[in-house]
Structure formats: structure tokens, C-alpha cells
Amino acid sequence: MRYHGHQFRTYNPDLGDGRGFLFAQLLDNRGRLMDLGTKGSGTTPWSRAGDGRLTLKGAVREILATEMLEALGLDTSRTFSVIETGEDLDRGDEPSPTRSAVLVRLNHSHIRYGSFQRQAWLKDETAMSRLVAYALEHFVTDADGPSPAARLLDHAVTTSARLAAQFMAAGFVHGVLNTDNINITGESFDYGPWRFTPSWDPIFTAAYFDHHGLYSFGRQPEAMQWNAYQLAGALRLIAPLEDLKPPLETWPARYQASLTTALFQRLGVTPRDPESDTALVRAIEAALVGSAVNPDRFFFDWRAGTRRAPSPADRIYETEPFTAFHSAIQPYAGAAPTHEYWSDSAPVTMLIDEVEALWTPIAETDDWRPLHNKIAQIRRMGEAMAS
């Protein structure tokens, strides 16, 4: 399905259809619609100048991103399969020729904000109304609003705020939060130059071509809110502005509530009361911004609100940035987690050097064992996070 979108806030009506096909739909065990869609399946009727292929390294990177984010509890697409196609590709950002692949992903939807933007650009009210009705029927159960477009936007505000908060709690930088890379269900997908931040650095940027840091770690909430406004702009084709303004005005509050939920889930603590919860969130952010501790290490060491010892970060935890955190976390301290993962010496991480180290044996000797071992470690962490 073709779509348009804002790429780094410049509108582009010539994006094609994402070099992929939606070739099957099914219902999950909760009765929700699921898509099986391809990425890198070659040229399509609406392809642009490229070959439409995905590099094998890009597919491996998407496996790692989706496995890690799923384990951390994010709303994300899943990598269903990767099929190597045997072609040689030339890419400016990889040593070439490089191996090619088709990736099949599992998503609740592949309908993007840019899908609605295309209908607005075409001024096709009938198609827009049908697209909104389809999305409401299949993906929206708890949204409010005086019109179908307003209900869809209310849903999008909730899911985009939640995803932005989940990115922050995970220490994850998507890299390319264009409107064509945001889907209506609020699931993260279309992973390109993603990275996990080694420290809680607001200006940390994943994409080498993001020269101004538009999608840096700390600006991701801003980007997601901006995208929600662009969706609202598209929906004005079939709804008056007064229907669409109320949900947009609630975006900051929904984000803050979602951030509390995401941080508490990552830390493994239970909310208490709004005042204490807000104080703890602020203390966590201040401690992480003011120190060089790795976010994965921090959340691992303080799981369930109780500090593990010993830790390589022990000295950092005694520095001034953690003063407020020590006070704020005390009422939340609970029983030590029981899953054996929490007794490991270090958390599972996915920094860029690890990604490259996993790709090297595949590229050089077609050895996939390190990748499979890493996936097993990630899934074990996911079991611990869920327990």
C-alpha cells in the first residue's frame, strides 16, 4: 500500500510502498488481526529508483532490535523469518558487494501515518473515510471522540505517547521517526540505523545522516508528538479542527503517565501515589543524565528497587546525581527478584559493538551460532522481565 510522509519534517509524496508486500493476515490468540508483511522483496509497481532489496546485515540488525525490544516489553513488530536471496548488493553504508535478504515481519498493522497523509494529499475523502473506518474496526477499542477521525486520533495520541515513553525507558534510539515509519497501532517497526544508548545522553543520535539530531535520544518524545499533529492535519480532510484539538492537547500528560509506567516496569516496582511516583521518575532521570552509568546496568542493579552488590557501578551510585534517587526509591524497595537472570554478573545489552561482533562471523564464515546464542540470552532476559 502506497503512502506519503514527512522525512526529517520535509513532506515527500514520492515514497512508494516500502519495498514490501502484505501477503497474509491472521488472528492472534486474543482475536486481534495480525499482518505478515515483507521487507526487501524487490521492486514493486510503486517502487522508486532503488532495487527494493534488503541487505542481510540489515535483516540481522532487525532481528536483534525486535528481539531486544520485545524482551524489554515494548510494543514492536516481530521478525518472523529471514530468507537470504543470493544476490550481491551495492550499498554506500556497507562494504559492498554485500549479501541480500527478504525479511518477513509480524505486525498488528502496516497502516502508517503516511497512509492517511497520502489520502489527504490526494484530497480523497472517500478513501480517507474508508481507511479510518477500517482502522477503527480492527485496531481501536477504547478511544473517545465526536467523530470517527477524532476517535482514531485519540487512539493514535495514546499509542504514540506510550511508544515514546517505552523508547526512553529502554534507552533505545529508533533513528528515523518519520511519519511514514509510525504505524497506527503504535508498534515500533521499520528498523534502520537504530542503537541503544550507552548512557542516558539526550543528544545521542543513531543515524549518521541525522546531522542536526532531530531524532536524538532526548528528542524522541518531541518527534512522536509532532507526528501525531501531522496525522491530525491529514484527518482534517474529514473532520473539523474542533474535533481534533482535544486529544492533541492531552499528548504531554499521556506521555508523562506512560513514562512512569514504562520506567516502573523496567525497574520492577509498583506505583504508589502520584506525588511519590513523580518524584521517583524525576530522580531516575536526574541520576541517569547526571552520571555515566549504562541504563541497562542501572535497571539491572536496582531491579525491584533494591540495590544489588557488588556492581561495577557502585562508585557511581554514591555520587551526587544519585542522592535524590536513594531517597525516592526507598519506599518502593521490594523482595529481591527470584529469576536466576538477576543473579548474573551483568545484564544483557545490545550496544553497537556487540551488533558488529555478531555480524562479523556471519559475514566472514557464515557462522550463525553467536547470533542464536545472543537471541537465547535475550529471551531469557525477557522471561526474567516478565516474571
- What are the phi and psi torsion angles at 2 (to 5°)? -70, 155
Cis omega (within 30 of 0) for bond into 13 = no
Q: Which of 45, 143, 159 is nearest to 108 (CA)?
A: 159
* Residues annotated as catalytic (active site), given as ranges: 180
Q: Would residue 8 be called left, alpha or beta, if left means φ above 0 and alpha means ψ between -120 and 50 degrees?
A: left
Cis omega (within 30 of 0) for bond into 97 = yes
Q: Which residues contact 347 (CB under 8 A, 6 or more apart)?
A: 296, 297, 299, 300, 381
**Separation of alpha carbons 141 and 25, rounded Å:** 19
- Characterize 260-287 residue by residue with b for buried, 16 or more Cβ atoms within 10 angstroms of its Cβ, and e for exposed: bbbbbbbbbbeeeeeeebebbbebbbbb
CB under 8 A, 24+ apart: contacts of 124-131 = 125/237, 125/238, 128/234, 128/235, 128/237, 128/238, 129/238
**Separation of alpha carbons 383 and 366, rounded Å:** 29
- Tell me, what DSSP letter sits at residue 97? S
- What are the phi and psi torsion angles at 101 (to 5°)? -155, 165
**Separation of alpha carbons 301 and 313, rounded Å:** 9
In sign, the C-alpha dihedral spanning 373, 379, 380, 382 is: positive
